[in-house]
Amino acid sequence: MAGIIGELCGVVNLRMALIFVFLDGVGLARAALTNPLTVNPSPHLRALLGGPLTLEQAQSGVGLLLRPIDAALGVPGPPQSGTGHVALLAGVNAPAMHGRHQPNFPPVALRPLLAERSLFRRALAAGRSVAFANVFPPIFYEAVARRRIRPSASVLAAQGAGLPLRGLAELRAGQALSWDITGQALYARGETPDLPPITPEQAGACLAALARTYDLVFFECFFTDLAGHGRMGANGPAEAVARVDGLIGGLLAHMNPADTLLLTSDHGNLEDSSTTVHTEAPVPLLAVGPATRAFAMVERIDQIADAVLGVL
């Protein structure tokens, strides 16, 4: 009987989820003294890869894949977030369609396409459950209303899919994360006085827990790009590496064995401390888990959405 129960539990545990961690502004470059991913501690990534998150660790094995993928998509100049996010989320060559790489926010002409073709919308249409794990506190809506910021590609994609954005109630319940992984920024601004920052490992555990309920869990982190731009202080790049490493460590420690972690980026920046602008480096495609093979042929960021949908 115990064996049967064990088998049944095994069947239940085989439900597979994909945890998609999108890091803005992280290239996969060679190890160098100018590469913060080389010179700062990253114990979880090093244990996983056999070294830091650099080009030398590119590998393809059972349950583990790290490969450089192209973010430029045939368009000259350093890739930018506005078009890069559309390429990632909608699976289209947004820079080519727009005629150039556009920073920050998606081109207006591509927004209907983003709403219609997004990974979120197509996953939901296929009957899969989706969690957009980022928290959007009241100051986000105030800033949008005052036109101080515009909605990012991910927000437009979520709205186009009818996918609810998470708020402070979910953050309090451990069912949402801040864009900086720990919640430090919101806490420092006095937005969440009852919510002291969590550790990056706790943040990873939070995403792993969401994957028990949802088929696709999406989280995006902008701390990495801001650190690469020099906007998080002198210690920003080291802190970015520590937060990403802790997040991955927490995820790997708490993920269901049937789940797969996917990590990628939209362009280089953090990996080169000799500049504070985007680089033309390829970006990492890191996959950990049983669905890793589905990403082995991905060569460009606009091929990721279809690969994700293929494993859900």
Positions in 231-250 near Zn ion (CB under 5 A): none
Q: Which stretch binds Zn ion (CB under 5 A): 17-25, 63-71, 84-92, 93-101?
A: 17-25
**Under the criterion CB under 5 A, does residue 271 sit at the interface with Zn ion?**
no
Nearer to Zn ion, 120 or 222 (CB): 222
Positions in 94-123 near Zn ion (CB under 5 A): none
Nearer to Zn ion, 49 or 281 (CB): 281
> Would you state the structure tokens that stand for residue 250, as one six-digit string?
């927490």
Compute the least distance from the CB of residue 226 to Zn ion, in Å.
Answer: 8
What is the pattern of x (binds Zn ion, CB under 5 A) and - over residues 185-224? ----------------------------------------
Q: Which stretch binds Zn ion (CB under 5 A): 22-30, 126-134, 141-149, 186-194?
A: 22-30
Compute the least distance from the CB of residue 227 to Zn ion, in Å.
Answer: 10
Among 215, 225, 245, 266, binds Zn ion (CB under 5 A): 225
Nearer to Zn ion, 17 or 71 (CB): 71
Nearer to Zn ion, 82 or 289 (CB): 82
Compute the least distance from the CB of residue 146 to Zn ion, in Å.
Answer: 22
DSSP letters of the chain? -HHHHHHHHHHHHT---EEEEEETT-------TT-HHHHS--HHHHHHHSS-SSGGG-EEETTEEEEEEBSSTT-SS---HHHHHHHHHH-S-HHHHHTS---SS--GGGHHHHHHH-HHHHHHHTT--EEE-BB--HHHHHHHHTTSS---HHHHHHHHHTPPPB-HHHHHTT--B-TTSSSHHHHHTTS-TT-PPPPHHHHHHHHHHHTTT-SEEEEEE-HHHHHHTTTT-TTHHHHHHHHHHHHHHHHHHHS-TT-EEEEEESSB-TT-TT-SS-B---EEEEEESTTGGGGTT--BGGGHHHHHHHH-
Nearer to Zn ion, 228 or 289 (CB): 228
Positions in 58-87 near Zn ion (CB under 5 A): none
Compute the least distance from the CB of residue 259 to Zn ion, in Å.
Answer: 29
Q: Which stretch binds Zn ion (CB under 5 A): 21-29, 55-63, 231-239, 280-288?
A: 21-29
Q: Which residues contact 299 (CB under 8 A, 6 or more apart)?
A: 69, 70
Compute the least distance from the CB of residue 223 to Zn ion, in Å.
Answer: 11
Compute the least distance from the CB of residue 101 to Zn ion, in Å.
Answer: 11
Compute the least distance from the CB of residue 239 to Zn ion, in Å.
Answer: 17
Q: Which residues contact 149 (CB under 8 A, 6 or more apart)?
A: 140, 143
Give CA–CA dist 28/126, Å, rounded: 32
Compute the least distance from the CB of residue 58 to Zn ion, in Å.
Answer: 24
Q: Which residues contact 227 (CB under 8 A, 6 or more apart)?
A: 36, 236, 237, 239, 240, 270
Q: How many residues bind Zn ion (CB under 5 A)?
A: 2
Nearer to Zn ion, 81 or 260 (CB): 81
- Point out the residue whose Cβ comes nearest to Zn ion: 225
Per CB under 5 A, residues contacting Zn ion are: 25, 225
